[in-house]
Structure 1
């Protein structure tokens, strides 16, 4: 049995090394700062959220309509949250939703001309912002290394079953306290 397996079996958690912990927090902070700036830009220029932009981008780059499940697998967001965001985009006339001809259980999502126009409107500012905040301080080699590293990390994480395949958690009633504990 390996040290890793025995640690997992006993419930012992190997702490992160200081350099791992530092890399973890730097990554989270950089992603948060970038996402916040992008969110502000999208709200100001297109009156859409970052998640809505992700949905429009996925639909824009897809060869055709996508199902809600395909969108859920591509965007890291809860199913109920995705349904809500898609409803807002549909109400704004940026997408349409309807039955999927290949699968009666699926909902097909299509980008409208207005959605395509809005995506084209916000994209130049999004690219400028991404370049200024993320890519300007990096050399070409840095960009290559970052792409390689993040691709490995993403692929490792994506090797797990997609979120849409995970069973939904059922809410259970909170057990009542015994009579003596309630007093």
Structure 2
């Protein structure tokens, strides 16, 4: 009988993404994997006596980004994540609802004003809220690249940039129900 006490449990598998504070929409059909990236930047401090060798480093800030390769042709959902877009339907014939999404090229759109809560929820068995990633203020911008052939799916890559909230919180990993008092 095998000794399973030393099993290394490395999670894999797909996830869904919820975008929105009050009425979240769910991006549940993806192609290529949802990718969360978080980075910090630093300033190396040098002095003449040590040349280019840093004597210490100062944290300058952090960024986070989420890439969601949405694989459905859902114009209504794309409207929710496309800055400055307008969506309309003509349901005169309920069996053949006509849909349209206008995307305008207007400079100066404030992405922070469009930011809402984003939650990544893995869908593999055994997943708990401890496995979630939450961006309290995430602003989306789609990067659509639809290839029309018989070999490729049409994917709208939704890139969500995270912004710090009023307390400076950029993102958190784990269960939202856990309270942490005091910021760093």
TM-score range (shorter-chain normalised) is under 0.3
Task: Return the structure number with greater strand share.
Answer: 2
Q: TM-score, normalised to structure 1's length?
A: 0.24
